[in-house]
Amino acid sequence: MLPFDPTFFMSLSNITGIYYKSFAKAFDGDKWSAEKVMDSDDKELFDQIYADVQVNCENMQLSASLATVKKMRACLKRSTSTYGEFFAFGPELNGRLMDEMQGRAFISMNSLEAKHFNEPREKWSDIVERFPDAETDIIEARRCFALGRYAASVFHCLQISEIGLIELGTFLGVTDPISGWSAVVGALQKVLATKYQDLEPWQRQNRDFLEQVNGTAAALKNAWRNKISHAHGRLTFMGNSDVAPDLAEEVLLATRSFMRRLAAGLPARTSEH
């Protein structure tokens, strides 16, 4: 998938007015002269314009159009270039752009979707810093959401949550061989159900944090509703049912809240209390 800048094509339409002004300079009295040498100011202006066009053609891999743009810029660098020579490239470039664009498909994102796609780490940077292994899934979760692949977005959210659960389980001293959702939440609730005076020192010290984690974990579980199975302590989809956009967004936000709370409260080395 290649980047597409719609303003690039909008700017091409504005070149028409610039061409018209330059076209007028090629008149000798009331007769247009194709052999008139181009004005240096026109050359500089057009070279700036087509430098941007060249970058966009390179980014979009429009090889035929790029070849024409390079010829246009080479023409502008010659001291003897005429208006007729330069303007002759216009129809060639237009035709090549039309041919190459016909085989492409473009998807438009609204501003929110573009934000998810272009800045996937935004508001997740503290989570990425604390859980670097989650970075790829964070990026994919947000980009899948932007592209309308909501089931895939939720899947990556599950992967993110698992990373947090493993570290939380280590912090809680979970010894279950399948240290997943059930085992970790069970250990968490066991601590919270214990009288304060009966808690171990590290449990007393972190009780507020654990209560907050329990709250965000409950919100996350509620966001999953009946789409996720906790069988054998693992987080998995139940069937291949469609995931609605609002559910995917709810899961994304709940996952971020859960992981952010873990990032803020878990010690740097979770193997030590």
Q: Are residues 92 and 126 in the same domain?
A: no
Question: Within a domain: residue 1?
Answer: no
Residues 217 and 182 in one domain: yes
Domain boundaries, position 142? 111-265
Contact between 134 and 237 under an 8 Å Cβ cutoff? The reply is: no
pLDDT of 180 reads 67
The span from the CA of 201 to the CA of 212, in Å, is 18
Same domain, 52 and 28: yes
Residue 271 has pLDDT above 50, yes or no: no
Does 251 lie in the same domain as 203?
A: yes
Q: How many CA atoms lie within 13 A of 112 on its CB side?
A: 4
257 within a domain of the structure (yes/no)? yes
The winner for highest mean pLDDT among 74-88, 98-112, 181-195, 210-224 is 74-88
- pLDDT given for residue 273 in this prediction: 44
Indicate if 151 and 23 belong to the same structural domain. Answer: no
CA geometry: angle at 159 spanning 157 and 165, to 5°? 100
On whether residue 75 sits in a domain, the answer given is: yes
For the chain, the average pLDDT equals 82
Q: What total number of domains does the chain contain? A: 2
Is the pLDDT at 177 greater than 70? The verdict is no
| Whether 73 and 141 share a structural domain | no
Q: Domain boundary at 42, 67, 102, which? A: 102
Q: What is the mean pLDDT of residues 97-119?
A: 87
pLDDT in tens, 129-172: 999 999 999 999 999 999 999 988 988 998 898 899 888 988 88
The string of pLDDT tens digits covering residues 241-254 is: 577 888 889 889 99
For the ranges 57-71, 93-107, 174-188, 233-247, which has the lowest average pLDDT?
233-247
Residue at 60 is within a domain: yes
Residue 138, domain member (yes or no):
yes
Residues 206, 134 within the same domain: yes
Between residues 12 and 126, which one has the greater pLDDT?
Answer: 126
For residue 271, is it within any domain?
no
Percent with pLDDT over 70 in the chain: 79
Flag whether 156 is in a domain: yes
Q: Are residues 117 and 249 in the same domain?
A: yes
Alpha-carbon distance of 33 to 89, in angstroms, equals 17
Residue ending a domain, among 72, 102, 132, is 102
User: By the 8 A CB rule, do 127 and 221 touch?
Assistant: no
Q: Are residues 133 and 156 in the same domain?
A: yes
Tell me if 174 is assigned to some domain.
yes
pLDDT of residue 199: 87
Q: What does the DSSP assignment read for 55-90?
A: HHHHHTT-HHHHHHHHHHHHHHHSTT-BHHHHHTHH
Ramachandran area for residue 173 (φ above 0: left; ψ -120 to 50: alpha; else beta): left
Same domain, residue pair 134 and 204:
yes
Alpha-carbon separation of residue 265 from 174, 211, 222 (angstroms): 18, 11, 22
49 lies in the same domain as 17: yes
- HSE, CB side, 13 Å, CA atoms: give it for residue 52: 12
- Please identify, among 102, 131, 161, the residue that sits at the C-terminal boundary of a domain: 102
By three-state DSSP, how is residue 104 classified? coil
Question: Residue 38 pLDDT > 70, yes or no?
Answer: yes
Query: Are both 97 and 116 inside the same structural domain?
Result: no
Helix ranges restricted to H, the chain:
6-25, 40-59, 63-77, 83-87, 89-102, 111-118, 125-130, 135-146, 150-172, 181-193, 201-205, 207-224, 245-265
